[in-house]
Amino acid sequence: MAAIFDLVIRGGTVVDGSGGEPFAADVAISGGKIAAVGRVDGKGREEIDASGRIVTPGFVDIHTHYDGQLTWTSQLAPSSPHGVTTVVVGNCGVGFAPCKPEDRERLIIMMEGVEDIPDVVMSEGLQWEWESFPEYLDAIARRSYDVDVVAQLPHSPMRLYVMGDRAVAREPATAEDNARMAEITREAIEAGAIGLGTSRTVHHRTKAGDTVPSFGALEEELRAIGAAMRDGGHGLLQMVLDTDRIEEEMAMVRSIARDTGRKVNYAAVQFHGGDTEQYRRMLDFAAEAKAEGLSITVQIGPRPQAALMSIESQLNPFALNPSFQAIDHLPLAEKVAIMRDPAFRAKLLAEDPVIPPTLKALRRQFRNFDNIYLWGATPDYMPSADKTIARLAADKGISPEEYAYDVLLSHDGTGLMFMPFVNYAHGNDEAVHDMMADPNTLVGLGDGGAHVNSMCDSSYPTYLLKYWTREAGERSFSLPWVVRALSSQPAGEIGLDDRGLIAAGYKADLNIIDYDGIELGQPIVVHDLPAGGRRLMQLPTGYDATIVSGVVTWRGGQPTGQYPGKLVRGPQASPVA
């Protein structure tokens, strides 16, 4: 019999993204769409035996920062190895369009400060084929990827484009400024942006230490932007709020959502200092808004967010010591050889770090050894208190600095330490569980493409599958719940109703997973960015295949070199009437 399908996945257990119970079925694919689910008698040009495997929709990551990376590469790792088939860029109000030629360096400095992407990487990698945001989308559309890409208009570049130095000085926008930003927003929406990202937090700063242009923007400005999205026919507002004045912020969010009819989603985390329960009020606010008929959701992370400390990563307890900075540019083996010299060790341990006043609060925590944990042979994102560097050093009768030094040199200089800064204030998974279980939250905040030298939270889909369905004990979630949280739920939030479910007519974005064998690998440092820039990469095991638009993009943990992913312009209708 001649092949009648492009691909047939045989004999798997389908976890279809709806939250319903898994079921045994074949999945047939033709023309990039799911053609049939059930018993498939027809043959495929390619067939994959999924016996003993689960088959899920491709995962949708709504919070990434690949805005620059997608202009110089087709492989959007480290997200794509973890089953992600759609990513959203333009988050936190930072990006690279619109941009006048004279402002390019300003945006690079902004992105380096906010998202920790080295300026040399961006300076060499960005091709700057655009000025306007529609031109930026056109540049993306000319490329292909191993995932689909969805873009939001970033607020800070738009504000700089319209207001120039007044935006950098964070002056209030005039009526004329607001009208111009509304016009740019409508153009972006009509060109295919799904919404706008903005940041109002003091923690987002440029490399020079200045708050970003969108910080403190008045309600009238955001209202004008929201009205422009409404007039354009769609658009959500993604926000990072000023948590120092959270009650005022949430009241503003409600007012804008009510008056413009826009969806709003804002980020919430459990802080380690100050009010560790603030996130609960942010969840309650979303519930109150929903009762009023407003569409307000809360974006949360499914594990503690943390810096990974090593000799090669951006942060370690000695990273700001003069002696370490003098050798940091050297290859790992040379650094290790120098650090093993007793004289260098004594010198480095005796030094005080030099901390510039512009550094973020996070980097001032890098010697709080009561909150820095030994990273074991396998990744442990919920470490127990007896694994802190302070405790381990005391047990050994040496200083925390000495113990940390030895950890860094272990495993030929690849030893790791783990420094959580949100979502682990009480040393357990209770806060993260409560955020995940809330009906008004969305899983995200993976920051793929950002914080490349200190974090790798874009591996969160694999963590969800591994920890939250197998290892969390009484707090575990069901496998169908987690798959829905990774697929149809985020897809629906951003208006991509054509994906996230395994059913006839839906986009053929799929994962074939050895559920019993899924694991997270150790993060490693690789030097594969432009200008030889380094970044952390964390790969999983257990993904037999990832499929985008019916094409296998990853097989057995290796990229296939196929890039069917494209720019997705605007909302996509459900194939089911």
Query: Whats the size of the chain, residue-wise?
Result: 577
* Spatial contact of 277 and 246, defined as CB atoms under 8 Å apart: no
d(CA 429, CA 377) in angstroms, rounded, equals: 21
Q: Which of 282, 318, 276, 273 is nearest to 300 (CA)?
A: 282
Residue whose tokens read 């599958």: 465
Phi, psi of 276 (to 5 degrees): -75, -5
Residue percentage of the chain with pLDDT more than 70:
98
Choice among 49-58, 206-215, 383-392 with the minimum mean pLDDT: 206-215
Separation CA 415–CA 310 (nearest Å): 6
Which residue did the predictor score with more confidence, 354 or 57? Answer: 57
Distance CA 117, CA 98 (A): 19
CATH topology of domain 60-304+425-493: TIM Barrel (3.20.20)
Q: How far apart are the first and last CA of the chain?
A: 33
CA distances from residue 422 to 10, 61, 388, 443 in whole angstroms, order as listed:
42, 20, 16, 15
What is the per-residue pLDDT for 208? 73
pLDDT for res 363 = 57
Task: Please report the pLDDT score of residue 577 as a whole number.
Answer: 62
Instruction: Give the model confidence (pLDDT) of 511-567 as tens digits.
Output: 999 999 999 999 999 999 999 998 999 999 999 999 999 999 999 999 999 999 999
What does the pLDDT read at residue 331? 93
pLDDT at 1: 57
Contact 385, 424 (CB under 8 A): no
**Quick check: 475 pLDDT over 60?**
yes
**Residue 210 has what pLDDT?**
83
Average pLDDT (92-115) is 92
Q: Decide if pLDDT at 362 tops 60.
A: no
Nearest CA to 554 out of 81, 46, 77 is that of 81
Is-contact 548 57, C-beta < 8 A?
Answer: no
* CA angle at 574 for the pair 568 and 577, rounded to the nearest 5°: 155
Q: % helix / strand / coil in the chain, to the nearest 5?
A: 40, 20, 40
Q: What is the mean pLDDT of residues 430-453?
A: 96
For the chain, where do the domains classified as CATH 3.20.20.140 start and end? 60-304+425-493
- Residue 2 pLDDT exceeds 80: no
Per-residue pLDDT at 112: 85
Mean pLDDT of all residues in 291-306: 97
User: What are the start-end ranges of the H helices in 295-429?
Assistant: 322-327, 332-339, 342-350, 389-396, 400-413
Q: What is the pLDDT of residue 358?
A: 53
pLDDT confidence tier of residue 314, bands split at 50, 70 and 90: confident
Q: What is the pLDDT of residue 453?
A: 87
Is the CA virtual torsion 294, 299, 300, 305 positive or negative?
A: negative
Amino acid identity of residue 241, one-letter, is: L
For the cut 80, the answer to whether the pLDDT of residue 73 exceeds it is yes
Residue with the larger pLDDT of the pair 133 and 110: 133
Read off the DSSP letter of residue 62.
-
pTM, whole model, 2 decimals? 0.96
- Nearest of 147, 193, 192 to residue 509 by alpha carbon: 147
pLDDT tens, position by position, 363-392: 568 889 999 999 988 899 999 999 999 999
Calculate the average pLDDT of the chain: 95
For the residues 328-342, what does the mean pLDDT come to?
A: 96
d(CA 339, CA 345): 6
Residue 115's pLDDT is 78
